[in-house]
Structure 1
Amino acid sequence: MLTLVNLLGLALVAWIVWYFWLYKKEGVAVTEVAGVQEINITVKGGYDPDVIVVKKGKAVRLHFTRRESALCSEMVVFDTLGRSAKLPEGETVTLEFTPQQAGEIPFQCQMGMLRGKVVVTS
């Protein structure tokens, strides 16, 4: 019995390590309209989608719509861009920027619990 409990515990630890540190989500490519890359992001228990793929040198518009009242999700923060935005419940807030170099631009709620990233490609 003790061996079974230990095996289940190890399996759970392995799953947690894989899910939080090793699993890489594929990003969602944005739609380009008139030279602007745009995507709608729903905020409800997280960001959906939470990995967004864009091209460098072209304007990006992220449309955040908050569908919950949790305090954690009332702001989105882009530390590397020095930008943030309040997200009133039920309203769409647009954040626009033009990435100049390839790499990742992380974003999160003000508490750091909800996370996402913009992956900038060449």
Structure 2
Amino acid sequence: MKMVKVFALIIGIILIALIAWWFFGKHEQAAQSAQVKDNGQKATVVVNGGYSPSTVVLKKGVPGQVDFDMRDHTACLSHVVFDSLGVNKDLTKQKITTVKIPTDKAGEFNFACGMDMFHGKVVVK
């Protein structure tokens, strides 16, 4: 009986450590640089259970856009919101929805789903 208690304690400590790592650990996020072509740049973010990549990098001074490729039709991900740009686009109206990003100065533009549960950002540098 004593061995069962020790085993349960060890399993409990391992589970607590995994939960703490999941919520508080630093996780690497996928980042993608936009493709520059014909005096413009474009990046594609796939919407499928979240945003992939969650970070897009645009080059300063080159007109930029981010295309959202909608593959998940859950209610939460049906909109993409850029608060700082005043953008709230419905992604369900078409397969690819384009958001133009100002690249005149360096900075970050955070975006989220309509319920603010999934997040991403566009970095201009």
CA RMSD across the alignment: 1.8
**In the alignment, which residue of structure 2 is the partner of 1:93?**
97
C-alpha deviation, 1:89, in angstroms: 6.1
**In the alignment, which residue of structure 2 is the partner of 1:115?**
119
C-alpha deviation, 1:13, in angstroms: 3.4
Distance across 2 between alignment mates of 1:25 and 1:102: 20
C-alpha deviation, 1:61, in angstroms: 1.2
Identical pairs, percent: 31
C-alpha deviation, 1:53, in angstroms: 0.8
C-alpha deviation, 1:7, in angstroms: 2.3
C-alpha deviation, 1:23, in angstroms: 2.5
5+ unaligned residues in a row in structure 2: which ranges?
A: 1-6
- The question of 1:82 aligning with 2:86 is answered yes
Distance across 1 between alignment mates of 2:30 and 2:71: 24
Q: Deviations over 1:40-72 (max 9, x none)?
A: 221110111111111122211111121122011
Q: Is the 8 A contact 1:69 1:89 kept in 2?
A: no
Matches within 5 A, 1:3-14: 3-14=9-20
- The question of 1:35 aligning with 2:39 is answered yes
Which structure has the larger Rg over C-alpha atoms? 2
Which shifted more, 7-16 or 106-115?
7-16
The structure-2 alpha-carbon separation of the partners of 1:61 and 1:88, relative to structure 1 and needing over 3 Å to count, comes to: same
Which shifted more, 90-99 or 33-42?
90-99
5+ unaligned residues in a row in structure 1: which ranges?
A: none
> What is the number of equivalent residue pairs in this alignment?
118
**In the alignment, which residue of structure 1 is the partner of 2:72?**
68
TM-score, normalization: structure 2? Answer: 0.82
Q: Is the 8 A contact 1:68 1:89 kept in 2?
A: no
